[in-house]
Each structure stands twice: as C-alpha cells, then as structure tokens.
Structure 1
C-alpha cells in the first residue's frame, strides 16, 4: 500500500503536473492535445530545475529547501495551467470525443507495442555502470540533504566541483522527485518510474512528427509511429545507438537528451521553418535549450547548434531578421552556460 501511494505521488509530479503546467504553451493551437501540453510541461519542469538547482549548488543550499522551492514553482505553474484550461475544457472534450473513434487500428497497434516496450524496460530493469555516479549522486543527496556536496564514489566532501557534471545537475532532480514521491528511493524512481515517463515523452515527440508530416491522415500517422517503435526495438546492434540509449538507460540525462529533447528541438525547428506564423511560443524553444543544458553537458553544445541551424534556415526562407533575433535569444542560456563550462 505504501509503495502504491508513492507511485501515485510520482505520477502526480511527473505526469499530471507537467500536463497542467504545459497547457498555457499550447492552448492557442487550433488542435492541441494533452500530449503536447505534457511535452511542454516536461520542458518547463527541466528548465525550472536548472534555474533552481544550479544556483543552489553554488549557494550550498540543502536538498529539502530546493525540493520545496521546486514544488512551489511547479505547483503554481500547474494551477495556472488548469485555470486557463477550465474555460476551454468543454470544447476540448467535444473535440476529444470526436477524435477517439477516428483513431486508426495501426495507431492502436503502435500503442500496444509501445506499452510492451515500457513494460519490458520497467520489469527487466537494466543496471548500468554509469549508475555508479548518476543514481549514486541522487542517493547521496537524499541521505546528506545536500546537492553536489559529496563525492558519490568515496563519500568525501568535494574539494572542487566536478566540472563535467555540475552544470547539468539532472541527478539532483532525481533526488528531488524521489523526495516529492513520498521518499521513494532514487534507484527505484530511476529504474521503474523514469522509463514510463520518458519513453512516453519520446514517442509523443515521434507522434508530433507524424502529425506534422501526415496531417489529417490517421492511418499514415499510426503506421509511422509503429515503424518508429519497431526500428527502436531492433536498434540493439550497438550500445551507441539512440534506440539503445532510449530503451536501456532512459533514466540517464544523455539518453533523455538523445531520445526526447533533441528530437523535440528538431520538431520545433521544422515548425519554425515551415510555418509563416509559428503556433508555438518562442519561450518553448528557450525552455527546450535550457532543458537540454540541464540533462547533459553535451546538450549545452548540441542544443544551440540544432537551434541555430533551423534559425538560419528560417532566415533564408522567411527573410525575417526579427525571427532570427528571437532564435538567437532562445540560445542564450546554452551559450552562457557553454562559456561557463569552458572557463571551468
């Protein structure tokens, strides 16, 4: 019973809160879905974690204080999202009831395959060697009520912060979520809760690509998602493929970067290039860059590169200096952290 309560709390903070908090970023779209709001809310959660945890490391704040601040900020964002959703709930419900019978059989098959993958990842949890740092950092933070203060390998206090990891404190977020989930152990959270959340997010990103490329073609959208699931399922021919990272160690920041954030950045970039008036707000692109910085130090470098390429393409296609300037501003968090990383 206790584990069930902790699982419900984890679902509340990792599913319900992101869905509610992401509504303001997508509700202006004509055909937005709660899946889109979940992706937007997930980016917001990672961006908020970066803005709270990174200063907390250098100010040597306690874990319980950072957890409290994170809960307050995300709770307020979720409440604001629900308030904005209340006025349009009726029209959204009508559209949802109309769209459910139109879901193709291929989409249901794809959903079944994805659920099997999630079940396998949770039941046959892979124990990765990198957990000796990532999960151990979260566990150390919980037991010492600190963030990046002690070396998880030795237990000794850090004399110098690890420059490779300190600017991307994704393991600390694991400790925060475990605390918000009623004290669920970070290892359990990483191996059983995170795969459900981030695999779902990854396939929702692929679904967005299907909706973009096969608009109003339900059958093709289902086939595309099924094709993606099959390709990823058979990508274990190397330990370095994106599909292998996604299915084997999705709880690690570099896997979240490869499976969720960079593909979503590409999706936002395509919308930026193809649409004369982008429906997504620029703030979402900035949050995606900040989220990439949070999950992995590689994201500090890769996110502005991906964003910059699409901004340049949009400048050539649309000849809009204003759009180019906004795109550069969205990259500023990554560029600033990249400068700090080089200084370290």
Structure 2
C-alpha cells in the first residue's frame, strides 16, 4: 500500500502534468509549445485546478462557521480534486491515444539523436557531465540536509499543513496554539500549504518528510527544467545551454548569502510557496510570455497563460505583486519593442491569477470580518437561514 501511495504521489509530478499540459495546449496548431513548456504548463495547471476547488470549499467552510468549528472540507477537497484529475486523465488518454502510443518510439528516437550529438561533439558530453555532477550534489544536499534549514516560515508551512490534516479543515487553525476558527486572510488565499497537506495525506508520508525531503528534490529538478527552457531562447547551440546551466548551478551553490535570496531558496527552502514562485514560476512565466508576444496572438496560448498565472498565484499572497509586476513589465517592454500597443488579450489572460487572488482576498476578509463581529456587515448570514443547516442539521 505504501508503494502504491508513493507512486500516486509521484504521478502528480510526472504523468499528471504531462496529461494536463497536453490537454491545455491541445488547441495549439502552429508554434506548438516544447515538451518542457507543456510539462510546466500542466504542473501549474494542476495547481490552478486545486486552487479553484480549494477556494470554493474554503468559502463554504467559513460561510457555515457560526459557534463551533465546521470540519470535513479538506476530505471533500481531496476527493473532489482526485476525481477531477482522474476524469482529465481519462479524457487525455482518449484524445491523445495516438501520441501516447508513439511516445516510446519518439523517446528512443530523441535519445538516439542526443547520443549522436554527444558522439559528434565530445565537449558537449563534458559539459553535460559537469552539470550533472553539480546537480547531483545539489540534489544530495536538498535530500539530506534540507531539514537543517528551518525558519519561522518553515514552522508556519509545516504546522499549517499538519493542522489541515489533523483537523480536516482548510486554513482554519491557529498554527501557534491550534485555536479554531482562526485565519489570517493572507493565509486563507494561498492553497499551497493545503496542497502539501493533500500530498501528505495521499502518500501517507509525514508533512515534514514531504516538505524537507521529497519536494526539495522534485522542485529542484523542475527548476532546472525551467532554466533549460529559458536557455533554449538565449542560446541556439546546445553546448552553450549546458555551460549556462553549469554556471547558473555554481552561482546558486556559492551565492547562499541571504535567507531571502533566490540562491538560498534554490539550495535550501525551495519547497516553500514564495520560493516556488520566485525560483520556478516567475522565470518560466516571463520567458513564456516573451515567446508568446514574439510569435503573435493565437487562441491556443490564452488558456495556458491564464492557468500559469492562476497556478502561480496559488502559491502565496505575495504573488499578487510579483506576478502583476512581471507580466505588466513584459507587456510594456514588448509594446516599446514593437512601438505600438499590442497583446492586450495576452495581458488580460496573464492577469487572471492576480485578479482572482485580489477578489478572493477581499471576499475572505469581508467574511472573516463578519465572523468576528456581532452584526453581519457584509453578508446576510445566520444559522437559522443557512441552507446547509436546514438540509443537514
């Protein structure tokens, strides 16, 4: 059973992102996204789906809270998300069955081409080995020594996720003394700690094991996938791409000068929401937008951009500033480059995440304010008129 649960955990970072990425980019006919872009789009698409479901059930939980804690929403969230993902996997297998059947042959062909490139260019092999060696060192430290990098944020994340499982609620318990209901609005609008709790419950691993042992390794690999994607736009020669990755890895290893720098997040606490945002989501999203603006408007890019934006904003409330600043800056740069205002539809799609976060933040702050006051200032709530208690008692 443990092996089955562990496989289910890994599926959320392997097959599921691939399947969702293929579905999200299914309408792309010209200028299709690369395999790496499709994978990362699928990964953040899964975060976006979880975020929407989590927001709906969290709202339901707080709306139905009056005198005693309202529990059970986390279990419903786990079931609902699993069902949605299962349905999407089935849809992908039906729609993409031709590509799935051809995938093994395509992988063999791709590996053969890369081996031929290495045989033809010995330096490429040397650069790849150098980068692989540095990456292995980073992965080892991420796996073996991540637990030594504790901070206030660590306790916040770990305890919040553990409380989610223990109390069967969503962003509901005070992570210091365990009181319920208690929630700071900025924590209520982020689904990342709840997603960690979902992974822990799915796999039966301890929350600390998920945070400090498993996720750092997986997310480090995803981060370097994103950086390789960026290198494909910077360098046409594959040699230069691996030189870039090697120098970048060395810079991260020896740039660990501040707890709040990206270098520390890459080598230490990459599993935290703000770290995933700064080390993976923002760099990838910025380059993806540059590519999208450069190739002109196509309908097939709108949904991927919107879902990346929403998935990135699920990580932390700080995303409302970081994502907005990034996407608006890129839009302005491209308008200056083309000397005209263009790409409005891409800009709107890229702001879906921040807009959702702002609206949800405002609604939750109003609802929490009503919960803490005697009179309902914003919403007409009451146990006697609540549909849930009328139906279920």
Residue 75 of structure 1 is matched in structure 2 by 86
Q: Partner of 2:179: helix, strand, or coil?
A: coil
8 A Cα contact 2:292 2:301, kept in partner:
no
Aligned counterparts of 2:3 and 2:99: Cα–Cα separation in 1: 33
Cα distance 1:72–1:306, how it changes in 2: closer, same or farther (>3 A)? same
**Which of 92, 96, 117 pairs up with 2:110?**
96
Give 3-state SS (helix, strand or coil) of 1:24's partner: helix
Distance, in Å, in 1 between the alignment partners of 2:132 and 2:311 is 27
Residue 177 of structure 1 is matched in structure 2 by 199
The DSSP-based 3-state class of the residue aligned with 1:69 is: helix
TM-aligned CA deviation for residue 47 of structure 1: 0.6
What does residue 35 of structure 1 align with? 36
**Residue 262, structure 1, aligned to residue 282, structure 2:** yes
Alpha-carbon distance in structure 2 between the residues aligned to 1:118 and 1:6: 23
Alignment correspondent of 1:143: 166
How many Å separate the matches in 1 of 2:52 and 2:304? 15
User: Cα distance, 1:31 vs. partner?
Assistant: 7.5
TM-score using structure 1 length: 0.89
Deviation at 1:196, TM superposition (A): 1.9
Structure 2 length as normaliser, TM-score?
0.79
Change in 2 beyond 3 A, CA 1:21/1:329: closer
After superposition, where does 1:1-344 map in structure 2 within 5 Å?
Answer: 4-26=3-25, 28=28, 33-60=34-61, 62-89=73-100, 90=102, 92-93=106-107, 95-101=109-115, 102=117, 104-105=124-125, 106-126=127-147, 127-129=149-151, 130-159=153-182, 161-181=183-203, 183-215=204-236, 217-276=237-296, 281-318=301-338, 323-341=343-361, 344=365
CA distance in 1, matches of 2:259, 2:145: 17
Supply the distance in 2 between the matched residues of 1:291 and 1:235 (Cα, whole angstroms): 28
Secondary structure in structure 1 of the residue aligned to 2:14: helix
Distance 1:316 1:92, change over 3 A: farther
Q: Does the 8 Å CA contact 1:254/1:296 hold for their aligned counterparts?
A: yes
Deviation larger for 116-125 or 278-287: 278-287
Give ranges in structure 1 of 5+ residues lacking alignment.
none
Instruction: Give the total of aligned pairs.
Output: 340
1:96 Cα deviation (Å)? 1.6
Q: Distance in 2 between matches of 1:80 and 1:30?
A: 23
**Structure 2: runs of 5+ lacking an equivalent:** 62-71, 119-123, 366-393
Further displaced range: 237-246 or 135-144: 237-246
SS in 2 for 1:295: coil
1:314 to partner: Cα distance:
3.0
SS, match of residue 186 in structure 2:
coil
Aligned CA distance change for structure 1 residues 81 and 118 (closer, same or farther; 3 Å): farther
